[in-house]
Every structure is written in structure tokens, then in C-alpha cells.
Amino acid sequence: MKRKLRGRGVAASWYGIARTATIDRAGAWAELDDGGTAKIVTGVTEIGEGILTVLAQVAAEELGIRPEDVTIGDNDTARSPEAAHAGATRQTYMIGNSVALAAREARGKLFAEIADHWEVSAEQLRAFNGEIWVEDTNKRMTMGEAVARCKARGVVPVGAASFTAHGTGLDPVDGSGSPWQAYVFGTQVAEVEVDTVTGEVQVLGIWAAHDVGRVINPRGVEGQIEGGVAQGLGQALMEEWQTDKGHPVTHGFAKYILPTSLDIPEITSILVEDRDPKSPLGAKGIGEPALVPTAPAIMNAIYDAIGVRMKSLPATPEKVLAALAAKEGAAA
């Protein structure tokens, strides 16, 4: 047997978006302000996933201004609409849609006043990058001028909205029900090299194709996928949480090994845009789903390389060597 053997494995997954087996909801306020800027108020919590950037992009597109001209208000729940928790891959789906709907209401009020001022139909108006104009004419003004004109007519272009995702409870007997409104799907391919002398497994590459609905921020989505793959690699090969009668016996991070940048292979992300028909934005989510198929793909790749099924995680060198020894013993 060659010392180092290579293999490839594939795993597919699905994941439900937003809260499970219950109604999920989120609200937001939006206002076009003096100078053509905007402010968005929502109870969203930014925990590093980039949701504030996404919300600025959503509001800017809906209002026809630049993302840098959008201010996201603080998330103190005493002063902002309910947005609920940062989890369940729900931020873009729930808060993103509520911001979009609130921004559309604010834009509708502005368009109604400017259309009346120009004596045209509101359906003829377009707005982008801080300007508003009548399609197929030379009637045009800046968003700042439009907001000033709107307020001079006694109207503040403000909007409020909520978005709801419907789910049902699960039958306690057979588990039937409709626990999520939207689903995402993904497939990952892993290539590994297994050292049959040391038992070490090195992941050489991961190819990750994920359906995320409409992609609001491509670089952000790719970052989420890469982060999920890194977590999945740690789950597959390193992170061993040991307990004894329900009590943890893993002594700190010296023994609970986490992957570093040296352990992460090249990750190729493929974004599949299958828009959600029940969402105003068409977007879904990718926070947690990117993690799901990584460890199974790596385990399948190990099997492809050495013909042994690893049935417990993580697949440490000791476990790999024990599995190879058992295989050789069975063959003998």
C-alpha cells in the first residue's frame, strides 16, 4: 500500500430558513431624510455576519440612493421594532425583507408627491444612485431636491413594515408538518490525502455549491460559505469534545484543537440563485447551511481513499489508524 492515498467525497444537504415550526416575524422603519439620505431603524443584531452591510444595500436599492447614504439605527429594542434573534439563518430573510417593504412604503410616498408635482404617473418614475427622473423624459432631480419638495408639500417620506414567515408545529407521533417557509440546498465535494502511517488526514480542497436565493452581497455569501467550511473541517478532523457521565473532561483549547489558517484548503464557492417566491427580495440565507455537508463530504473522501468508513467524529489520526488496523485484521 502506498503511504499517502487520495480520495474524493460528495455530500448534499438541505436546510430550513428562519425559526422552526412556528411563526417568525420582524419589523423595520425607513425614512428618506434631508439631503437625500435615509435612515433605517430595526432591532437587528450585528454579530460579524455583515447584516448591516446587507441592509444598507437593500435599503439603497429600494430607495434609489447609494448604500453609503443609508444609516442603520441602533438596535435597542426599547426604541426599535422587533427583529428577534441573530440565528436560524434568518437575518437576511426576515430583517432584509422587512427593511425592503418599509423602504418601498417610504419610496411610494415620495413618488406620489413628485409624480403629482411633475403631473405624471408614479409608475413612470425611476430612482437610482441619488437621482429621481421620469422615464423617457428630461425631467430629473436629485433625491435631496425630491425629499425637500415632498416635505414642502407636507409629507414626510417614511415607511414601516413587517415580514412574516409561516411555519407549523410538528405532529408528535409521525413528525409531519411544515416547519419552515423557505429551504436552501447545497452540495460539497472534498478532496483529501490520508497518510496511512501516521493516520493524518489533510484536506486538499473543497468545492461548495449552495442555493442561497437571490444573492444580495456575493462577497459576503462567499465569506459565509468559507467560514462554514472551516467549521465543518474542524468538526470532521479536530474538535473532540469529550464528556464523562455528562460532565466535560476536555481540558481547554490545548486539547480541543481548532483549525487554523494553515489547515484550511482552497475553497471554491459556487452561488446558485434560486429565488424564493414567497420573499419580496427573493433572498434566503447561508449562515448555518454551509456547515452541514462539509464533514460528510470529508468522511466520504476518506472512505474513497482508504476504503474505511469513519463512524465517529472527529476522524483523528488515532481513529484512522485503528480503522485501518481493523480492516487489515478482517482481511487477514
Say if residues 38 and 31 touch (Cβ distance below 8 Å): yes
Residue 254 and residue 257: Cα distance in Å, rounded? Answer: 7
Separation of alpha carbons 49 and 239, rounded Å = 23
Q: What angle do CA 250, 252, 253 make, to 5 degrees?
A: 110
Torsion region of 274: left, alpha or beta (phi above 0 gives left; psi -120 to 50 gives alpha):
beta
Q: What's the CA gap between 55 and 95, in Å, rounded?
A: 8
Question: What is the largest distance, in Å, between two alpha-carbon atoms of the chain?
Answer: 91
From the CB of residue 208, how many other CB atoms can be counted at a distance below 10 Å?
A: 25
CB distance 62 to 101 below 8 Å: no
DSSP 238: T
- Strand, helix or coil at 58? helix
- Identity of the amino acid at 100: A
Residue with cell 482508504: 306
CA 3 to CA 145: how far, in whole Å?
72
CA–CA separation, 143 vs 65, rounded Å? Answer: 8
CA trace torsion 227, 228, 230, 235 (10° rounding): 150
Give Cα 108 to chain centroid, integer Å: 29
Measured in residues, the chain has a length of: 332
Quickly count helices (H) and strands (E) in the chain.
6, 13
Catalytic residue of the set 135, 288, 318, 328: 288
Question: Is 119 tagged catalytic?
Answer: no
Catalytically active residues, by annotation: 288
